[in-house]
């Protein structure tokens, strides 16, 4: 399982600040997202792209595989050049304002794609987007979507239907759980923890971070707890015994395939070196 599939923490770094690239890697996020879109002014797009390509070229193939580049949206003057520059160099691109259709499919044939869903059309297209060739994961752009809907981006309940659409679409397409949007209050650890936990309970597997201080907080919330791992191991152990004859039961409850599947996913998530 690659970092793109299993990653919990995705740390943004501005594409026009190359002096920060190595610091972002050192922050310990599973994936670094170099941003050529919102973080870069129009007049700096070309130089930022060049800086990103130079940096990617300095990395080992393993390190580059853990870098995602958020490219400018389809229809902008920079989109095609961004794709051409980073395809084959970065682990994936993040497609801003992703919607179903030709641009997404064309990108997916060239490079793995994390589709950032941040429009009403994108949310309604979630199932088609997740099923598009090359799309490895969905991400949630809560602030842009909330602005379009005219709702408070910090109102978790108001965005539950949209977040749920991404979870269902990801499951139907057989890809990893989606990546939740950013939390803008960098120093509000309590609010970040609550938001990450709400996303986890909905079925999200990762979260976008905008500051290194957020990485450890998000990771602690999203990683399988010791209790979850112990439960999963008890399920799989009981199943192994049952294969020798009989139906598995744990704590007086029959264990069927959905339970086994959930236990398997928890163990897979916990199998990463830092979770062992």
- The tokens for 6 are 């299993």
Tell me, yes or no, whether 104 and 231 share the same domain: no
The whole domain housing 259 covers 226-271
pLDDT in tens, 7-25: 999 999 999 999 999 999 9
Tell me, yes or no, whether 117 and 190 share the same domain: yes
- Binned at pLDDT 50, 70 and 90, residue 1 comes out as low
Query: d(Cα 182, Cα 81) in Å, to the nearest integer?
Result: 26
250, with CB counted inside 10 A (0-12, 13-18, 19+), is: middle
More confident site: 125 or 257? 125
User: Does residue 3 belong to any structural domain of this protein?
Assistant: no
Look at residue 117 and give its three-state secondary structure: strand
Please tell me the predicted confidence (pLDDT) of residue 251. Answer: 77
More confident site: 206 or 246? 206
Tell me, yes or no, whether 188 and 153 share the same domain: yes
Q: Which residues are annotated as a binding site for substrate?
A: 70, 118
Check whether 55 has a pLDDT greater than 80: yes
Length of the chain: 276
Please tell me the predicted confidence (pLDDT) of residue 276. Answer: 38
CATH code for position 77:
3.20.20.60
Q: Which residues are annotated as a binding site?
A: 70, 118, 144
Domain count, the chain: 2
Tell me, yes or no, whether 50 and 164 share the same domain: yes
Model pTM? 0.89
Q: Which residues are annotated as a binding site for Mg(2+)?
A: 118, 144
Q: What is the 3-state secondary structure (H, E, C) of 170-190?
A: HHHHCCCCCEECCCCCCCCHH
Look at residue 13 and give its three-state secondary structure: strand
Domain boundary pick from 184, 201, 222: 222
Tell me, yes or no, whether 119 and 48 share the same domain: yes
């Amino acid at each position: 399982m690659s970092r793109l599939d299993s990653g919990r923490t995705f740390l943004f770094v501005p594409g026009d600040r190359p002096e920060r690239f190595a610091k972002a890697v050192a922050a310990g996020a599973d994936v670094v997202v170099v941003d050529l879109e919102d973080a870069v002014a129009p007049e700096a797009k070309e130089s930022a792209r060049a800086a990103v390509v130079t940096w990617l070229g300095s990395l080992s193939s393993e390190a580059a595989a853990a870098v995602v580049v958020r490219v400018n949206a389809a229809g902008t003057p920079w989109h095609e050049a961004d794709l051409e520059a980073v395809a084959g160099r970065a682990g994936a691109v993040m497609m801003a304002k992703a919607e179903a259709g030709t641009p997404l499919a064309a990108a997916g044939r060239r490079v793995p794609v994390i589709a950032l869903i941040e429009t009403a059309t994108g949310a309604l297209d979630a199932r088609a987007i997740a099923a598009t060739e090359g799309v490895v994961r969905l991400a949630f752009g809560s602030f842009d979507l909330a602005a379009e809907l005219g709702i408070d981006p910090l109102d978790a309940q108001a965005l539950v239907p949209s977040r749920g659409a991404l979870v269902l679409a990801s499951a139907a397409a057989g890809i990893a759980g989606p990546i939740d949007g950013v939390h803008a209050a960098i120093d509000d650890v309590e609010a970040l923890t609550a938001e990450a936990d709400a996303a986890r309970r909905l079925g999200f597997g990762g979260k976008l971070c905008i500051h290194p201080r957020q990485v450890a907080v998000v990771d602690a919330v999203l990683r399988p707890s010791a209790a979850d791992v112990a439960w999963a191991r008890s399920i799989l152990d009981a199943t192994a015994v049952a294969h020798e004859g009989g139906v598995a039961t744990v704590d007086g409850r029959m264990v069927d395939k959905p339970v086994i599947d959930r236990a398997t996913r928890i163990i897979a998530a916990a199998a990463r070196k830092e979770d062992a």
